[in-house]
Structure 1
Amino acid sequence: MARHDARNWHDYSKMTGLLCLVASILLQHGVSGQRVKVEPEVLSYPGQTVNLRCAFADAAGIQLTMVTWIYEPKEGERINIAVFHPNFDPNYPDSPVKGRVSFVPSPPILASPSIQISDVRMNDEGKYICEYATYPRGNEQGITYLVMLAKPQNSASLVTVEAGAKQVVVAKCESVDGRPAAQISWVTTANGNATTVSKPGADNTVTMRSEYRMVPTAADNGKDISCVVVHRTQVKAESFPLKLEVQYAPQVTIVGYDNNWYVGRTNVLLTCEANGNPVPLSVLWKTMSGEIPDTVQINGNELKVLKVDDAVNTTFVCEVKNRIGSGRDQVAVMVRGTRLPEKGATTGSIIGALIGVIILLAIIGTAIAMYRKHRDQKDGPPKYKPPPPKKTNSSAGRVNTAPAPVVEDRPLTDQYYSTQSVEPVTDLDTYHDEEDDGVEDREHYYSAAPSGWDDPRNNEVPPPYMRRDGSPQDYHQAPNVNRGESFVSSAMFV
């Protein structure tokens, strides 16, 4: 375990040391880069004068010995273009910018040895390095990128093509002599693709050319297509809106035949509709039989039948031509002996009105039913029955009633009957007169009757307790019988 921990600690120490070394290098480089102050990028157009500034910041404890400006083109080796030592005059070695470069101010200051280049050219683009020789830190430098700009000449054009099955160029766009290279894109609903190529231009500029290719169809004619050019010298993208120019042979359609040409019908008309690119030049009407009937008049793309007869029972053909080709359409006419019944123009309206009326009536009926239901619930009888009156001990308020017999399937000899007379009790509130009784009460009474009882409405003679001609005391009880004796009980009225 101790050996394993020691190995891990050793690895950790090595990693920590490596990180510290990298941090120190980066810190030193950052401090060095910050000491020599330059502009990261300078933009210029050809013919202008540019200033490349340089200064050494925080020179405390450091002795500045000499400063050198170095030019590094994109392709090629570094070249010294300006050198200054405090003990000597400025020196400008041979370089592409000799005669056009100088220190500013003049005489130069070692702490801020900026330079300027007049009449800059496109080939002057590249890195410009301000490098100090110092003691005791050695050489320190800062880098400025000089970017030469050239505004390109942008344009776009259409290519007129014929509809076909092969992919062809339908539009072109180019950005000529720009610096840096422009970006070209296309915006369209047409189904195609673009190819873009670059070509070196004059004075270190770049020319960009783009072509849009597709398989042209008649449906693509007139579709919008735009070339969009983006360049650093432009405030916003430059767009060139165009419309595709696809030529195709005429597309022909004959309209006007309603399949109801009957003998004697007059002034029926056929129209030959055609579209094409370029515009169709000629329209020719003919028949499959080769002869135009005498009752037919032709006026350009219209064919008029003055009076329908058997002679127009043929096939009419319309042929249209343009520079690309020709197109045709035909219609076979069938002459009928009698006319077909014409459909009413308002059939659809009538059907729609009937459907609307039915829906309206359904809505009204539903509303009425809901209103009635709500009214019945609000004004109808209560959903509960009041409790029966309490029985009193007074003889005047007492009413004799007989308990309902229990119907059982057991043999008669096994049944037990009480030999003592018991005062029957009957709830007469349930069986009051029919004048005061509602339908609900009568139905409740019938449903409460034991199984096997007759419906009181079907009996001509009411039970004793329903009679009005006698008093309750007229009710006679059955005689008492001993348990052990065989008997047949008398009729019991309940």
Structure 2
Amino acid sequence: MMGDLCARFLLLLLGFLGCTAGIVEMPQEVSAVLGKDILLPCYYRVQSVEKVTQVAWSRGSSSSRQNMDVATLNPNYGQHIFPQYEGRVKQMASMDLTNASIMLKNAVQADEGTYKCRVNTFPAGSFEDSLRLTVLVPPLPSLNPVSPLVEGQGRTMAASCTAEGNPIPTLTWETEVKGTNVTRTSAHSRSASITSEFYLEPSRDMNKKTLTCVVSHPGLYQEKRVQHILEVQYLSDVSIRGHEDGWYEGREGGTVKCFSEGIPAPKYSWSRVNGSLPRGVKIDGDTLIFLEPLTQEDAGVYVCRATNDVTSRHSSVHLNIAEGEPPKLNLVSISIIAVAVVTIVLLTIVVVAMILVNRYHKRKTKRLSEKIEELSTLSRECSRRGLSSNTASADIKAQMEEGIQLQSGNYPDSLRDASISSIMGEEADRRSYSTLTTVREIETQTELFTSAAPAEVVKEEEEGPELLRADKEQKEEDEEEKERGGLIENQPFIKQAMTHFYKENGTLRAKPSTNGIYINGRGHLV
């Protein structure tokens, strides 16, 4: 009693002095996996004036209100483990009781409950806190297949998956086949179980497909998967082959074969309608072999029957034995026909190609002709325009000749003989290259000359009458200029014409020029 009073007095004194007590730190809930070690943490945040004198662990059970001592930790006397947990509890930090955590080894479901950590200090007193320990029981799933699955039997349970644990596990299905599942659960004293059944309608396309049960649980590091390979029993329709070839009397080695698929593998049997199998016939599994040459007695309806654990199916074929051997094909004739067909095909391709090429060239030629016609039309139009121009040039030439005649009549014959007569003689010879020009050159020269001096010609046409009147007045002046040798230079037309000639051995010859001058037979300048 006296001790308690002293302790309370010290607490009041510490509170009066402004000192605060320490704090116990531990989680509210801890989970342990069945069979694994689990740490039960407990930490005390000590103050500067405090000292931990002892730590006591106890466990409260949900079925009993009494606490069960687990361990006592003392800095002077060490740890004391109570008999119920002897060998299963270990102190984590023996020298420092501020870390009062303990290790519980090999956890079992009976270890579940509330654990208290009580820390005794001086002079602050004792402090405690508690945590809830849950032991997780991982499930051990099991898959129970239902067999056999038979095609056509309708909705059937393919497999069931069961898992038990604490807390209750979760089950899902992974598969390529189409189906549904039904799940049911059941509770136990310390665990719960779940069962899921997978239903489907068996078909042969489900055979060898995988059905997987996936189990999820907090006590598992990763999901658990249990696989099952589906096996669906079935038997397909029966077909007979080998009777398509010609069957005739005397044929050797005739065989017919029966085909069917199934799980398990089917067995075959042969029979003939309205009679037994003929002599010389052997059954080799799914094949019927005629060991002797065929006769009319071998004809008839033959039945093949396939049977397995699921069902039985059959098919029939009618063997008709023809009289006599059918004509054999001549390989040489067939080869010749094949070569002929190939040749005809190649010739057809060549002819079609030639026709297409010919049509192409015709189209090209037609287009070229149209282009030439267009060019010819344009040329004729240009020629007509040139003819009109030549007509105008001819009028100008005539006026120029008249002007020359009017003026040349007043000049002495010596001048005419020295100039115009020599030019006319040269025109008569036509030995000079200037007289050998073609008609087109003449036209070109005329056009050039007309374009070179249009203004002077027009001027002469306008002043023609005045020029005739002025000739009489200037006659005396021209004679004087003639004596001085300047007559030719004063005549505009002769002066212009003389620029296109040069003297050679006393003869005037035309100069090579783009604007050529043509002297007609009368000696007139054009």
Q: Structure 1 length as normaliser, TM-score? A: 0.48
Computing the radius of gyration from Cα coordinates, the structure with the larger value is 2
Q: Structure 2 length as normaliser, TM-score? A: 0.46
